[in-house]
Amino acid sequence: MTAHTWKRVAVLTVAGALTASLSVVPAYAITDTALEDLTWPQSDSQIQTIDDLQLSDADSIPDNPTQELPSTVSEDVPDDATVVSPELAVNADGEVQNIETGETVTDPELVGTQSQQPDPLAKTDGESFIPVQVAEVRQKVDEADSDMTDDSVDGADDTNNADGAVESSTSSTEGTVQLAALGNNQYGAYWGTYNGSAAFFESDGTLFVQQAKGVVDVSEWQGTIDWQAAKNDGVEGAIIRISYGAGNGLDEQAKRNISECKRLGIPFGIYTYSYAYNNELAADEGDDIVSLLKQVGVSPSDLSYPVYYDLENWTWAGHKPPTSPSVYDGIVNTWYAKLQAAGYTNLGVYSYTSYLKSALNSSSIHAKTTWVASYGERTNFGYPTNSRGWQYTSIGAVDGISGIVDLNAFGVREYAISYPTGTGYYVSNRLEGGAADYSFQYGKSSDVVLSGDWNGDRKDSLAIRRGNRFLVKNALCGGNAEIDFLYGKASDIVLVGDWDGDSIDTLAVRRGALYYFKNTIDGGIADKVIPYGKNGDDVLVGDWDGDGVDTLAVRRGAIYYFKNSISAGAADVVIAYGKSNDVVLVGDWDGDGVDTLAVRRGATYYIKNSISSGVADKVFAYGRTADSVLVGDWNGDNKDTFIVRR
């Protein structure tokens, strides 16, 4: 890892009123910071440095927008090998090869020796690099070669084609990675404000963290840092490399970096890069970092951010990194135990998305992972708490740090926000107990609130009902509604579902045993009307068979009658489940595309992943007995979870 660049945020007044708008607001409008009011002053040298790094998307290595695509990938480098630097790949046997020539690389500075681990940043000259599969790089090289051939043919056929020249120029411009002149990242992830504090958002406006801090991560490769200048330039925290592997001593700048952060009151954490392939070596790494922390005078109380275990697909001559999540489970647990025994309990795992979904694909490791590298529009990884960090760019520019540096957005571990009763919404992206991932204020305590995917973006959000007026919001936040319309009568029972399979939820009105279905978010005549069940039935909505269309289920006590089409007639499936006085929720709890039931009893939830009787698949406690609960897929991971309304 290396370090990152900065934000300048002009804070505007929070728009508190829930006003309506018929036009669709751009994603960034969910914050109370206007983009045009953001600036990012930089020196000419900083701007020049970053301009030099910009590559078109077609010319860069996947997931690494500043690293140039190789001109070729040798046939001697297997597709299942991993690219670990712009020039190097490591195969399944642990052999390091030059990507373009296929030759084995033995330089000890880059790959170490059988007994000596290399500095992992040496192979990238100190820059961060997210490893990717050779197959991805090879495909992109082939596509680039194909595009070049096509361009050559077009030029030969019509060298005077002015339209073609313009089109080529336009395509190139659109593909260019524009450095965010606002201290954001190249793909639109951005700083703003949320609940009156600094926040960081994914490019589509999804909140990543609130009460956010801008943090750099640094090592000896940044040289001697002027920390006062960095602090003056907006650095609010630092993750400092202390070591790599075991027995390699301190990072050459670690002691000074730690001392300066202490002197200037800059909150900091620590990271160490792992070369462990078994529990024994993990124990050595644990003992080693404990010794180094004591050597530089870092006590557990000094740490505002965790001690991070950096797990990546490493290259070390004569050794192979683990590929099994169960092996990594043992490694991580062993390392954790060593630090915890020494009193260091503020710990975390750092990695990158593809590794977390392969070698580190363990629920135990994922629960410990609170810092992830992802240089794109979003992280593509679900974190457990607001204390999470996102290393969102590797080409930051910060006063006091020469060259480029990694930038991160970190949330605050504990935060307390008070909302008027009935207007606070607490979002959890996991079916488990514990703190909410984030919260926000919206609407009035007297509002009736519905949840649905109103715009087909695969993420659910809220709509407020006031009588027969509906105010629809396409993001989970306060502020103005995007759509305001009238529908039905104030006395109607209203249901939400995707009635036609277009991935957009709309409304249905129930009047006794008649149902009026509408396939668009607006007023007007219903698209379909059917009779179903009895006047006194409780009715549930869900996609019971995974066909992408929501239909009805009737509940009579503890008996459920499921219908797989929007039509009258006999139920397709009938089951008994739970008790007649249970509160019942509907959702796709496991991401298989089929909605099933959950029973709520007080603050305990019993989740069932099939439409059948029997024991619940998962039971957990969450929130308070008096909470109102909404169900939805809030983060687009295809799994429904809860929002608590207080």
Task: Clarify whether residues 626 and 530 are in a common domain.
Answer: yes
pLDDT one-digit tens code per residue, 123-134: 988 888 889 999
Residue type, 529: V
- Specify whether the CB–CB gap between 413 and 386 falls below 8 A: yes
pLDDT of residue 65: 80
Question: Do the domain assignments include residue 210?
Answer: yes
pLDDT at 446 over 90: yes
Residue 381: per-residue pLDDT: 85
Q: Which amino acid is at 537?
A: D
- CA dist 598 and 582 (Å) reads 10
How many of the other CB atoms lie within 10 Å of CB of 441? 17
Q: Record the pTM.
A: 0.61
Q: Across-strand partners of 300?
A: none
Q: How far apart are CA 338 and CA 536, in angstroms?
A: 61
- Residue that is last in its domain, among 118, 140, 162: 140
* 120 in a structural domain: yes
Asked whether residue 401 falls in the same domain as residue 443, the answer is no
Same domain, 531 and 435: yes
Are 527 and 541 spatial neighbours (Cβ–Cβ below 8 Å)?
A: no
Number of Cβ atoms within 10 Å of the Cβ of 301:
8
Question: Which CATH number belongs to the domain containing residue 197 in this structure?
Answer: 3.20.20.80
**Is the domain of 236 the same as that of 256?**
yes
Lowest mean pLDDT among 17-21, 336-340, 570-574, 594-598: 17-21
Residues 228 and 313 in one domain: yes
Same domain (yes/no): 209, 349: yes
Based on the fold, state whether residues 212 and 86 are members of the same structural domain: no
pLDDT, position 147 = 60
Could you give the number of structural domains in the chain? 3
CB atoms within 10 A of CB 146: 10
| Range in 48-57, 246-255, 277-286 with the lowest mean pLDDT | 48-57
Task: Answer yes or no: is pLDDT of 523 > 60.
Answer: yes
Residue 269 lies in a domain: yes
- Residue 260 makes CB contacts below 8 A (sequence gap 6+) with 225, 227, 266
Same-domain status, 328 and 441:
no
How confident is the model over 104-129, as a mean pLDDT? Answer: 93
Q: Is the same domain home to 449 and 316?
A: no
Return the minimum-mean-pLDDT range out of 192-196, 220-224, 552-556, 626-630: 192-196
| pLDDT beyond 90 at 264 | yes
Mean pLDDT of 460-477: 94
**Strand, coil or helix: 214:** strand
Range of the domain at 115: 82-140
Residue 170 lies in a domain: no
- Asked whether residue 277 falls in the same domain as residue 328, the answer is yes
> What would you measure as the largest C-alpha separation in the chain, in angstroms?
79
Residues 455 and 506 both lie in one domain: yes
Distance CA 351, CA 138 (A): 24
497 in any annotated domain: yes
In a domain, 145, yes or no: no
Chain length of the chain: 646
**458 domain-assigned:** yes
Cβ atoms < 10 Å from Cβ of 519: 17
Dihedral sign computed on CA atoms, order 179, 184, 185, 187 = negative
Q: How far apart are CA 469 and CA 473, in angstroms?
A: 13
> With 70 as the cut, is the pLDDT of residue 424 above it?
yes
3-state helix, strand, coil in the chain (%, to 5): 20, 30, 50
In the chain, what percentage of residues exceed pLDDT 70? 84
- End position of a domain, from candidates 349, 383, 412: 412
Cα–Cα distance for residue pair 516/66, rounded to 1 Å: 54
Lowest-pLDDT range, 140-144, 175-179, 410-414, 550-554?
A: 175-179
Is residue 113 scored above 50 in pLDDT? Answer: yes
Res 9: pLDDT: 28
Tokens at 181, concatenated: 């002149």
Are residues 609 and 500 part of one domain? yes
Buried/exposed code over 325-349 (b: 16+ C-beta within 10 A; e: otherwise): bebbbebbebbbebbeebebebbbb
